[in-house]
Structure 1
Amino acid sequence: MHVSAHDVPLHRASDAQHAKQGLAGREMLIETAFHTRDVLAPDRFSCWREHISQTYVPMDVEDDSTADTTVSQRFLALGAVQLWTMEHSPMTLRRTQKLIQQSDPELYHLSLNLRGTMGLTSSHHEAQYERYDLVLHDTSRPHLLRAITSHGEDTILGTGLFVPRKLLPLPENAIDSLIMRRLSAREGIGALLAQFLTQVTRDSGSYRPDDGPRLGTVAVDLLSALFAHTLDAGNTLPPESHQQTLALRIRAFIQANLHDPQLAPRTTAAAHNISTSYLHRLFQHEEETVAAWIRRQRLEHTRRDLADPAQRTTPIYAIAARWGFPRAADFTRTFRTAYGIPPRDYRNQAHGDGE
């Protein structure tokens, strides 16, 4: 019996221990993978059950499929945040009080259902989640999760986050009210979060190892903004928390409007019915000003697209305009200042041209 965690270009990840280090806050982007196809058929179920306890938390697992256990799992460690994607056959997982006492990393677990149906039971509460539903639960609470296929499909597909509870700026009692509540990923901030999860997974090869903590920060910001929006936190939280949630909403607004060349501190403040000076006060303890954060987000998106093989023939000026740089000369100068290399040379190096 063996487990195979595949090497990827970002960083060598030889076994499940690297995934556990990601949960502890390893400050780089690390990718690990597990596939039952790499395991002999008679050993697949027991190997998967052992693997999930090593990479996440101890769970009782039942394989509900009639065929061999099928699991394909990827982890992306984004600093202290873990992004996961998994495709698998029908199964049931139990997290009991006894298992919690054995090991509890105190994580919030967010799941985005992409295929199949997920049923979750905890503390006399039961709910069912369909495609593009988001659901939150945590490792400190006993629960039972049953994942089944639908519409004649053979496997269930999902993605999500493991986030240390201490990273979210909202009070725990407020977040507790969201446990097992169905949150939509079809519109608004939920859709923005879902797009982030799927896009980071899809484009993982275009990021550098030190991008991990930055991506983890974006994930926490979007998740917190979704919670604040759902809770209508401005009417229920104390002033300090209200300021934090307003800042999170502003970050989410900026992420959604990077394409707009008119996006700036002044227009951002106006969109949230606050003064520009108050906007700057909200971010006064951050490492960057609002304008600098907008510029960096735009540059990071252009850098990612320039390194994307699928966009190799897209003109550089079109990529720049897509992310709010309408003037090619200004973009080239800003990109060179940020990364020490012109965008054309960066694209050539990313694709190995001239080697």
Structure 2
Amino acid sequence: MPSVDRRAHTRLSTAEVAAREAFAYWREMICATFVRLAAEPVSDADFSGRIDHVPVGEVELSTVVACGQHVRRTRGLIAADTGEFLLASIQLRGEGRVGQDGRTAILTPGTMAFYDSTRPYTLHFDQPFHQLVVQVPKSELLLRDSRDLTARALGPGTPGGVVSSFFRSLAEGAGSGAAELTVLVPHAMGLLSAAASYAGRLAPARPAADAWARERVLGFLRRHLADPALDAETVARACHVSRRTVYRLAGPGGVAVQLRRLRLERARALLLAEPLRPVAGIAADCGFDSESGFYRAFRAATGQTPAEYRRSHGSGTAGQ
């Protein structure tokens, strides 16, 4: 049976076994990664699937790419488990359905839906799909009862759209080995609670409401970080809050510190993703008003120059 260490990055794939054993191995994969589940393929065609599981503190993020299937969480399987989790499926490609508590949510790209491991649920996919599954212990969340929030589709234009975007970015960063992302765990829990409260048509508790407002601020910073003139006043106007609120939501150091962190995060990703690109171009695209300023900030944050960072991560010396 495949093994998943919930504290470590784990990759599993049916490519590791013969085609005739693929779906049986897949059943073991999803049980090891999530909770005990029953599953059946929707066709007789060869099955393939893979899971990239990465933990960020108490948050478990699993990127799933697989062929069509029907998955069930039954009362018998629930009785055999001890953990209690709230899960959210964020659909990236393809379509699916989540059923629980008498409701069915249709999952289309950009949509998310919650389900609770302590009660029966179903997941169904007629065709190949790609989704991100967020799994957290129920004890860590700011909610009392999940019965009103499960199997409700939260799509673009709702808090679910913003929360989905955050967790996609978190999964990408965690998957690349950015251990410092654990500082975002309280924020992630608050955002998930805010989305769950919205799904249940409940008024978010103050910590959850603050997390939602903070993500609006950080989301604006991420989208506009290439603008070297971006400042707290601009963010406050765009997010319809006061400058004082912006500074409070941005956290220690205020907007300037958060913006520098996001710019350097983007710069690190671009240095590795585009190894032939000149550093000056990356600096400009990340909102630094001079190449020398970028070098100073990058070295202060990483202890390396951009060129040294590229070399130490296996990207060679091109584009320096």
Q: TM-score range by the shorter chain?
A: 0.7 to 0.9
1:216 CA drift (Å): 5.4
Q: Deviations over 1:99-135 (max 9, x none)?
A: 2232253322222233433122212222332343322
Partner letter of residue 156 of structure 1? F
Which residue does the alignment assign to 1:348? Answer: 311
Percent of residue pairs bearing the same amino acid type: 27
Counterparts of 1:230 and 1:182, CA distance in 2: 8
Which residue does the alignment assign to 1:98? Answer: 76
Alignment pair present for 1:210 and 2:179:
yes
Alignment pair present for 1:74 and 2:52:
yes
Aligned 1:278-293 pairs, distance under 5 A? 278-282=245-249, 286=251, 288-293=253-258
What SS does structure 2 have at the residue aligned with 1:261? Answer: coil
TM-score (norm 2): 0.82
Contact 2:191 2:208 in 1 (8 A): no
RMSD (CA atoms): 3.3
Partner letter of residue 88 of structure 1? A
Partner letter of residue 114 of structure 1? L
Partner letter of residue 139 of structure 1? S
Residue 110 (structure 1) aligned to one of 83, 88, 113: 88
What SS does structure 1 have at the residue aligned with 2:219? Answer: helix
Unmatched tracts of structure 1, length 5 or more = 4-15, 23-29, 150-154
Alignment pair present for 1:296 and 2:261:
yes
Contact 2:19 2:46 in 1 (8 A): yes
Q: Deviations over 1:157-184 (max 9, x none)?
A: 322322334555x5445x7644211122
User: Runs in 1 of length 4+ with deviation above 4 angstroms?
Assistant: 187-205, 214-233, 237-241
1:199 CA drift (Å): 6.0
Which residue does the alignment assign to 1:128? Answer: 106
Partner letter of residue 305 of structure 1? L
Contact 1:104 1:140 in 2 (8 A): no
My pick for the range that moved more, 214-223 or 120-129, is 214-223
Contact 2:92 2:132 in 1 (8 A): yes
Which residue does the alignment assign to 2:299? Answer: 336
Partner letter of residue 347 of structure 1? R
What SS does structure 2 have at the residue aligned with 1:146? Answer: strand
Change in CA separation of 1:189 and 1:260 when aligned onto 2, cut-off 3 Å? farther
Counterparts of 1:102 and 1:334, CA distance in 2: 52
1:62 CA drift (Å): 1.7
Which residue does the alignment assign to 1:251? Answer: 218
Contact 2:4 2:10 in 1 (8 A): no
1:46 CA drift (Å): 2.6
1:243 CA drift (Å): 3.7
1:293 CA drift (Å): 2.0
Change in CA separation of 1:188 and 1:98 when aligned onto 2, cut-off 3 Å? closer
What SS does structure 1 have at the residue aligned with 2:289? Answer: coil
Unmatched tracts of structure 2, length 5 or more = none
Partner letter of residue 246 of structure 1? A
Which residue does the alignment assign to 1:266? Answer: 233
Which residue does the alignment assign to 1:159? Answer: 132
1:302 CA drift (Å): 0.7
Contact 1:113 1:131 in 2 (8 A): yes
Contact 2:148 2:199 in 1 (8 A): no
1:227 CA drift (Å): 5.8
1:192 CA drift (Å): 5.6
Partner letter of residue 73 of structure 2? R
Which residue does the alignment assign to 1:9? Answer: none
Change in CA separation of 1:288 and 1:105 when aligned onto 2, cut-off 3 Å? farther
Alignment pair present for 1:39 and 2:17:
yes
Counterparts of 1:158 and 1:125, CA distance in 2: 20
TM-score (norm 1): 0.75
Contact 1:160 1:197 in 2 (8 A): no
Partner letter of residue 53 of structure 2? F
1:203 CA drift (Å): 7.2
Which residue does the alignment assign to 1:183? Answer: 154
What SS does structure 1 have at the residue aligned with 2:83? Answer: coil
Counterparts of 1:211 and 1:65, CA distance in 2: 43
Contact 1:221 1:251 in 2 (8 A): no
Counterparts of 1:176 and 1:259, CA distance in 2: 43
What SS does structure 2 have at the residue aligned with 1:183? Answer: coil
Change in CA separation of 1:343 and 1:221 when aligned onto 2, cut-off 3 Å? farther
Count of residues paired in the alignment = 317
1:143 CA drift (Å): 0.5
Contact 1:307 1:347 in 2 (8 A): yes
Q: Deviations over 1:243-288 (max 9, x none)?
A: 44323332333233322323333332333343333433445xx555
1:90 CA drift (Å): 2.0
